[in-house]
Amino acid sequence: MKNKNKYLFLIFILVFASAVFAGEDVKTLFDRYQALYSRYREAISAQADPQAVSSILVELQAASKAYYKSIGKLAYYSDPDSAVPSVIDIKSADATGQTGQKSTLQRQYDGIVAEMSLPSSDLNYDKIRAMLEDFITNCTDEKLKKEAYLNLADVVYQQTKSLSQTQTVLLNYARTVQNSEYRRQAMATIRVYKKLSVVDQKRKEYQEIVDSTVNKYGKFAKTSWFAFPVKLVNFGSYGINNIKRIAKARELDKALEEYNVAVLDTYEPGSTEALTRSKLVPLNKIKLLANGRSSFARRLALGQSAQSSLYLQTLLFNDDEIGNALTDVMCERAEAGVDVRLILDDAFSFGKKDGCIQRLKNAGVKVLINNPILKNLLKANFRSHQKLFIVDETYAVVGGMNIGDEYAKGEIEEYGWRDTDVEVQGPLVRSILDLFEQNWEDLTLKKWNEVGDYAKKKEAHEKVNSFKPLKNVDKLIRGPIPVYFEEPPVFEDVNARFITTFPIDDKDDNVLDLFEIYLNMAEKEVIFESAYFIPTDRLVKAIADAVARGVEVKIITNSIESNNHPSGGWAGRYAYERVLNVGARIFEWRGAQTLHSKVSLFDDFAVTLGAYNVNSRSHTSDSEDIVALEDYRLAKVFKVMLEKDLSRCNEITLQDFASWDKSLMKKSKMEFFNMFKFLF
């Protein structure tokens, strides 16, 4: 007993000492901050040497940032010569995105959501089921109870694969709930699980025929050509099996389509969820990765730490410095037994698959090519523009960056592009992973043959390409873009949506629907930042309506000189007049690098970013994805980032457009390229 008391006393002393030292650290940082501020004020009053004043200011700003960070706040300086920082609270927000206390029930439910968002290997269905059942028994909030029942049904299905048990959960809820819409959603969800059970059966049948097809190809490959009759028989057997595999693939594809249609009926009609086919998910941790300096450092670190899976989807993967660096990481992880996969679009990998891509294949990385051009010329204009980087079902990086030096060198070298990513941890990672798995399955089903591990490896060509700067760089602001944030800002407990568009399969534009919803909610300011700006009539009308209500709408996009597709810039300029006429403001980027960022800010309640440009391709041709962050803290820090971008822009006025219209050459370019705006 004495020993136990002794240990308890030691633990108490350690806890007390750590608290004292932590408080002392904060006090030390504060005292240093105040002392430097006093020195700065004295130097200003004494009209000290400007270089000395500047040196003190640098120390003062660093000290203030360190102090505010120690107490959970982000300090930043919009004006580099300011001694007084702006401060954003980075503590948790409640379910509405505002600071405050969540209800006890909401906090209990959040704990269940957190358990459900763990990687699949760590999920404890028995524990989650018990938590949900207990929550339902004591829940007095009808909306939370509905969500709990829907999640309980999912847990029961995932745990048992029993359609009848899953139906029982939902029918019990439907019989007791008074809200007719909630009852309808429960019954619609039953139909979803009926479709899902068919999908699971078709998946099983498809995998069985795939395994059989691979085995038959193996027999063919291993048979010597000297035994030609046997080899011919084995080839015929493989061919017949492959035809059966293609038939099973079509059955599964049809079942998936029917399942996806059924899911749409579970959303409340007219809601944001129904219009955007997304759900607002709480409890996410978001790290802002402004520019390649921070984004690629994080990607490489996450890749190196991968233990179970590393999935990447991108439009292009360059044979350059960063492409080879990431290839090294992915190869090493694949050889260590990690499941490493890559989805690449054919439009930007066509003709260069013998470098990094071949190295990845040789190391055991699974690679699928989206929409091979030569196999489907009629759909050659439809590309996959989605960009996903997912590690261990726990971390995801999404945004605008492809794999290339121009993206990775932002804030490092002069030509490094301006772009934006975020790192996501929390429940939203599941939605991002679902998209990758959906894309992977879709491409697998469309493969014309299946040979598995019997495909031969080829020698990879070692080459490192270099990125060329913009042609008209001398007309732009030279030098690298400045560091936006010394350390990436991180925010806990963020409400977020993950939204996708597939123009090749679906005529609806979920992202455009969200823009319209947010524009209708805005009261003060909206900023659209898009590498390529060719707005639809719908968006122009929504902007006009917002401006008429007193909202200031700003657009940030590339100038002709900074645009990596100048012809697209001319097509975009054709649309400037009608946008300016409704009262919006347009700003063209003048940095010595392309602006590739796709970010939108709506007052202080929401931010979106991802692969989606406000242009024709994203609306009609390319598969896209964005993250929508409904959080006032993130809105504030993104506003800081966008203000930095605006400082490197020139505003375009109606007078500017009139001068272009009077120039025969400029007017001709705008009109000519506008005829082909569907390509940009």
Q: Is 459 exposed, middle or buried (0-12, 13-18, 19+ CB in 10 A)?
A: exposed
What sign has the CA pseudo-torsion 170, 174, 178, 182? positive
Contact 142, 177 (CB under 8 A): yes
pLDDT of residue 452: 76
Element (H, E) at 153: helix 142-160
For position 593, which CATH number holds? 3.30.870.10
Q: Would you say residue 14 has pLDDT above 50?
A: no
Closest CA to 219 of 211, 228, 231: 231
Residues whose CB falls within 8 Å of the CB of residue 121, separated by 6 or more in sequence, listed in order: 308, 393
- Indicate if 532 and 668 belong to the same structural domain: yes
Q: Would you say residue 72 has pLDDT above 70?
A: no
- Indicate if 60 and 194 belong to the same structural domain: no
Q: Would you say residue 508 has pLDDT above 90?
A: no
**Among candidate residues 89, 115, 134, the one where a domain is terminated:** 89
Q: What is the mean pLDDT of residues 104-117?
A: 91
Query: Tens digit of pLDDT for each residue in 554-578?
Result: 999 999 999 999 999 999 999 999 9
**Among candidate residues 276, 304, 325, the one where a domain is terminated:** 276
Query: Tens digit of pLDDT for each residue in 411-442?
Result: 999 999 999 999 999 999 999 999 999 999 99
Q: Higher confidence at residue 28 or residue 522?
A: 522
* Overall domain count for the chain: 4
User: Which residues are registered as beta bridge partners of 574?
Assistant: none
Q: Would you say residue 466 has pLDDT above 90?
A: no
Q: Which amino acid appears at position 356 of this protein?
A: C
Residues whose CB falls within 8 Å of the CB of residue 585, separated by 6 or more in sequence, listed in order: 552, 553, 554, 555, 651
- Indicate if 465 and 527 belong to the same structural domain: no
Q: Is 627 exposed, middle or buried (0-12, 13-18, 19+ CB in 10 A)?
A: buried
User: Residue 471: CA atoms inside 13 Å, Cβ hemisphere, count?
Assistant: 7
pLDDT band at 57 (very low <50, low <70, confident <90, very high): confident
Q: Higher confidence at residue 84 or residue 144?
A: 144
Question: Which pair of structure tokens corresponds to residue 556?
Answer: 């940030």
**Among candidate residues 89, 120, 145, the one where a domain is terminated:** 89
- Indicate if 568 and 637 belong to the same structural domain: yes
- Indicate if 108 and 85 belong to the same structural domain: no
- Indicate if 272 and 130 belong to the same structural domain: yes
Q: Is 583 exposed, middle or buried (0-12, 13-18, 19+ CB in 10 A)?
A: middle
Element (H, E) at 262: helix 228-264
Cα–Cα distance, 324 to 352 (Å, whole number)? 13
Query: Tens digit of pLDDT for each residue in 222-273?
Result: 999 999 999 999 999 999 999 999 999 999 999 999 999 999 999 999 899 9
pLDDT of residue 73: 66
% the chain with pLDDT above 90: 71
- Indicate if 127 and 57 belong to the same structural domain: no
pLDDT of residue 96: 45
pLDDT of residue 152: 97
Cα–Cα distance, 395 to 308 (Å, whole number)? 12
pLDDT band at 13 (very low <50, low <70, confident <90, very high): very low
Cα–Cα distance, 342 to 461 (Å, whole number)? 19
Query: Tens digit of pLDDT for each residue in 608-665?
Result: 999 999 988 888 888 899 999 999 999 999 999 999 999 999 999 999 999 999 999 9
- Indicate if 545 and 415 belong to the same structural domain: no
Q: In terms of pTM, does the model score above 0.75?
A: yes
Q: Higher confidence at residue 240 or residue 80?
A: 240
Q: Would you say residue 66 has pLDDT above 90?
A: no
Summary mean pLDDT of the chain: 89
pLDDT band at 22 (very low <50, low <70, confident <90, very high): very low
In terms of residue numbers, what domain contains 171?
Answer: 104-276
Query: Tens digit of pLDDT for each residue in 260-307?
Result: 999 999 999 989 999 999 999 999 999 999 999 999 999 999 999 999
- Indicate if 263 and 312 belong to the same structural domain: no
Element (H, E) at 20: helix 2-45
Q: What is the mean pLDDT of residues 42-67?
A: 82
Contact 123, 93 (CB under 8 A): no
Residue 98 lies in a domain: no
Closest CA to 381 of 588, 145, 113, 676: 676
User: Residue 457: CA atoms inside 13 Å, Cβ hemisphere, count?
Assistant: 12
Cα–Cα distance, 621 to 679 (Å, whole number)? 9
Residue 354 lies in a domain: yes
Residue 97 lies in a domain: no
